[in-house]
Structure 1
């Protein structure tokens, strides 16, 4: 059984106006066309819907029930059209985002809050992952947007600049490095480190820096987050490295000292990647634009984003 929305609309008009002629005039159709539609509707449903008299038309009990249900059904169809239009222009949507811990703890909370204030019917599904997983997920279309530190090498993705951060060493209060003249990162390699979880971007940067000094990092403990790292440093288990902005925030809660790192590698680029900007859902395009306006693709990493 197939019910035609136009026939239901005409039926409602007939019930509301009481005559086929009046309904035909309202809907800009011939009266014969409206009458044919109503007859076909009764034939399809195999029940009499209208009682025709010389004073006009009135609905049967089944007709009254159909009138109520038809209004509800047509309203639902209108809602579908409205919602689909909202998806098409980005007012509704679902965005799969993967980001590393540095982006999540420093920049994304405020950025996502401002975005959702502008697009309240968009849902952002945010997952914390390590950089290598983020880039692979975007390349495999398991995420719409990736936010990571470092470079996206070996994958066919488009990369755009997002933010920068600076790394700093945090040490327990009274640590010998606190007042060391001419401090360099190499000086910290004499001490035990508290590191982040395996595969983190900061661990990779520190390992490379130690390799440049032909040294190894003595990892005492590995943690899953910056707050746990701060607890470990605060207890005197070792020294750690985290973004300077976060170190300053955590210093209010913990009794440790912050030592800025002056090496070039301590200034990091945090970037966005997408599989193909032009193929993104509208809401995801708006989200990428929101995170960095105007954005341009990094040289050698795909096309520039249209402004």
Structure 2
């Protein structure tokens, strides 16, 4: 089997002109160098070079291996340097998985200054995981998970980065628009529009409707927040969003924001990482920046 050391030796002998000089360059003894090449020649059943007096002449096989060494060794050296930079947190790609549909706009506010600060680190955002993000984190498909529902498991770490309140968004002419808060019964005859997530992972169900034994008249789903808010504004239904996001849309659309229940529904957004990645500098920097922007409207 051809190994990297074989390519190193052939390249060094060609560059240095002799076995003695090549051995010195590679910090090995000449006998060890000769033994390594002799073993390769035995495995290949052919010679690498031929002695002509005090000089070495590469055979056709040796020249072919030298050509490979000239191409492969620089690539391996570059790969090692890049891996070293990644390990030291200087270069790489930060792969972010999103389990929080409405947090995308907040994420953009973190990504922009992060990219400015870390020019050698790229960012890739993946939203396909929905509520399979923990598995993606454990399987190294992503490096950081944005989620409102941390799943604490060995090897993972979750840090809260901001608090928010889940609220109900209704048309401005809706009967409950001027109420201080709504009760579960107020939604019994309503069309509820949510993101395409299972009901048992939606706060408006788990923390509001289901405990009261109430279901809306109809449940529709919509992936795009803009379209969802347009539908609500046009009296096609009601929706639950973080207050900071709902307030943004209510400035430009005929919408009203109402608390869910007398005490409201308080939530947090967490960033999940693998404990083994704690030493990656750019990952730590991203989390620190997210904490500094601890309010989506900051």
TM-score, normalised via structure 1 length? 0.66
Partner of 2:8: 9
Q: What is the CA–CA distance in structure 2 between the aligned matches of 1:136 and 1:18, rounded to whole Å?
A: 54
Report if the CA contact (8 A) 1:170-1:240 is conserved: yes
Q: 1:280/1:201 Cα in 2 relative to 1: closer, same or farther (>3 Å)?
A: farther
Deviation at 1:142, TM superposition (A): 8.5
Q: What residue is the counterpart of 1:53 in the other structure?
A: 53
Q: C-alpha deviations, 1:181-219, integer Å up to 9, x for none?
A: x6332399176242314535885336644578x683534
Deviates more, 1:262-271 or 1:228-237: 262-271
Structure of higher CA gyration radius: 1
**Could you list the runs of 5+ residues in structure 2 that have no partner in the other structure?**
292-298
Q: For 2:180 and 2:5, how far apart are their aligned partners in 1?
A: 79
Displacement of 1:234: 2.3
Partner of 2:182: 185
Deviation for aligned residue 1:69: 1.5
Structural mapping, 1:61-100, within 5 Å: 61-90=60-89, 91-92=91-92, 95=95, 97-100=97-100
Q: 1:67: Cα distance to partner? A: 1.8
Secondary structure at the residue paired with 1:127?
coil
Q: Deviations over 1:114-135 (max 9, x none)?
A: 55662625755443524xx556
In structure 2, C-alpha distance between the alignment counterparts of 1:151 and 1:17, rounded to whole Å: 59
Residue matched to 1:265: 264
Distance 1:211 1:24 in 2: 75
The CA distance in 1 between the partners of 2:288 and 2:70, in whole Å, is 45
Contact 2:167-2:264 within 8 A present in 1 as well? no
In structure 2, how many angstroms separate the alpha carbons of the residues matched to 1:79 and 1:188? 64
Report which stretch shifted further, 243-252 or 230-239. 243-252
Per-residue CA shift, 1:79-120, capped at 9, x if unaligned? 4433443453344467573512233x3422333455566262
Distance 1:67 1:137 in 2: 42
Evaluate the alpha carbon distance shift between residue 288 and residue 102 of structure 1 in structure 2; reply closer, same or farther with a 3 A threshold.
farther
Question: 1:303 — aligned with what?
Answer: none
Instruction: Provide Cα deviations, 1:9-58, integer angstroms capped at 9, x if missing partner.
Output: 3332332343444445545555565555555554444135235136x444
Contact between 2:148 and 2:269, CA under 8 Å: does it hold in 1? Answer: yes
Query: Contact between 1:20 and 1:31, CA under 8 Å: does it hold in 2?
Result: yes
| Contact map agreement 2:200 2:206 (CA 8 A) in 1 | no
Partner of 2:295: none
The CA distance in 1 between the partners of 2:137 and 2:272, in whole Å, is 7
Deviates more, 1:135-144 or 1:256-265: 135-144
**Could you tell me how far apart the structure 2 residues matched to 1:138 and 1:19 are?**
51
Q: Which runs of 5+ in 1 are unaligned?
A: 296-307
Q: Name the CA shift for 1:11/1:192 in 2 (closer, same or farther; >3 Å).
A: closer
